[in-house]
Amino acid sequence: MSSVLQTKTAGTPSKGEGGGARAGAWRQSPMSTPPGSAARRRARTGWLFASPALLIIAAVTVFPVVFSLVLSFCEVRLEYGGLRLGSPTLAHYEALLTHSEWYRALAFTLGFTIVSVFIELVLGTLTALVLERLGAARGWILALLLLPWALINVIAAQLWSYLFNGSYGAVSWLCEELFGAQPDILGRPVPAMAAMVAVDVWKTTPFVAIVVLAGLMLIPGDVYEAAEIDGANAWTTFWRVTLPQLRPIVAIAVLFRILQAFGIFDLPFVLTQGGPGTATQSVAILGYRILFQNLDFGGGAAVAVTTAVIVLGCCLLFLRVFRAHVDEGGRA
């Protein structure tokens, strides 16, 4: 019996020895790779393929932003060989924040952004709800809606300037036929701003409609079936089912529109040149005039940096409020 036990003991490795032998064999196997090493290799491969795109982004985005930031904090002189940076200074920001023209441009830009984005969101959502219920004609309607969005902004603004012209414009003629007076739409502050909002709504509402339509198509049908079984009417279904499901996609559309509307330049530049006076001068036009007409590179950079900070703050505030609403809806 003892010899048999000794034979088995000698022929069978112990638990610790077998585990160590297996671990050593796994480590020495040329076909096996530790999981951490494979993950690091995939990460290096990903960075390798992404590096050209990252370099391009750094060249066309990060460098201009950093360069503008440096210009805004330096004394800049335009010389024959180019720009020459002087000592650091806060004079550009002091001059900007104490100038009434900056506040007027900021007020116009904020008002234009809030009014136009709100109207586009409402009209775009209503348009998307109608398109969702269309059948074979949906493709044709979408193609027609995309025509204003496909037009170049400068061309669209020039076309509308012909329509708003006080002498031969179709809109002025229509107002004269209906109300007996031919208004000077682009020559007065309030009508000029209303005209710009109307043009912007006409051009960019299709974008909002298509984005919201994409969100509507992703809502599962069983959610509506459950609401119908519970006895919810169309109004309740929209507010309690459709709108909560659309919040993420609506947030994306609003963010895109805030970024585009706050940087508006071509529409007021073509329609009114920022007039009458400075009533429709946006912050982008103000920066253009300071930078290219006055050749004040430091002041123009200060306008750009200040505008970027304001836009970033508005977007972060919007995302914070949006996230709070989503969390409350999830808890409810």
Name the domain count of the chain.
1
How confident is the model over 68-81, as pLDDT tens digits? Answer: 888 889 888 877 77
Q: In the predicted model, what is the mean pLDDT of residues 34-45? A: 77
- How confident is residue 11, by pLDDT bands cut at 50, 70 and 90? very low
| pLDDT at residue 173, rounded to an integer | 84
Torsional sign, CA 118, 164, 127, 148? negative
Does residue 16 form part of some domain?
no
Burial of 181 (0-12, 13-18, 19+ CB in 10 A): exposed
Structural domain boundaries enclosing 168: 93-331
What does pLDDT average to over the chain? 81
- How confident is residue 312, by pLDDT bands cut at 50, 70 and 90? confident
Q: Is the pTM of this model over 0.85?
A: no
The answer to whether the beta carbons of residues 149 and 141 sit under 8 Å apart is no
| pLDDT at residue 325, rounded to an integer | 59
- How confident is residue 19, by pLDDT bands cut at 50, 70 and 90? very low
Does residue 66 form part of some domain?
no
How confident is the model over 253-297, as pLDDT tens digits? Answer: 888 898 888 889 999 999 998 888 888 999 999 999 998 888 888
Q: In the predicted model, what is the mean pLDDT of residues 306-324? A: 81
Q: In the predicted model, what is the mean pLDDT of residues 44-62? A: 85
Q: How many CB atoms lie within 10 A of CB 102?
A: 19
Does residue 41 form part of some domain?
no
Alpha-carbon distance 330 to 184, whole Å?
51
Does residue 76 form part of some domain?
no
Q: How many CB atoms lie within 10 A of CB 11?
A: 7
Does residue 179 form part of some domain?
yes
All residues at 6 or more sequence positions from 56 whose CB lies less than 8 Å from its CB, including other chains: none
Does residue 251 form part of some domain?
yes
Residue 104 has pLDDT above 90, yes or no: yes
Does residue 205 form part of some domain?
yes
Tell me, what CATH number does 109's domain have? Answer: 1.10.3720.10
Residue 9 has pLDDT above 70, yes or no: no
Alpha-carbon distance 116 to 254, whole Å?
11
Does residue 64 form part of some domain?
no
Residue 17 has pLDDT above 70, yes or no: no
Query: Under DSSP, is residue 83 helix (H, G, I), strand (E, B) or coil?
Result: strand
How confident is the model over 108-153, as pLDDT tens digits? Answer: 999 999 999 999 999 999 999 888 887 777 778 888 888 888 888 8
How confident is the model over 167-222, as pLDDT tens digits? Answer: 788 888 888 788 777 778 888 889 899 999 999 999 999 999 999 998 888 888 88
Alpha-carbon distance 141 to 151, whole Å?
17
Helix (H) or strand (E) holding 310: helix 297-331
| pLDDT at residue 114, rounded to an integer | 92
Q: How many CB atoms lie within 10 A of CB 301?
A: 23
Residue from 101, 152, 155 nearest 283 by CA: 101
Helix (H) or strand (E) holding 86: strand 82-88
- How confident is residue 7, by pLDDT bands cut at 50, 70 and 90? very low
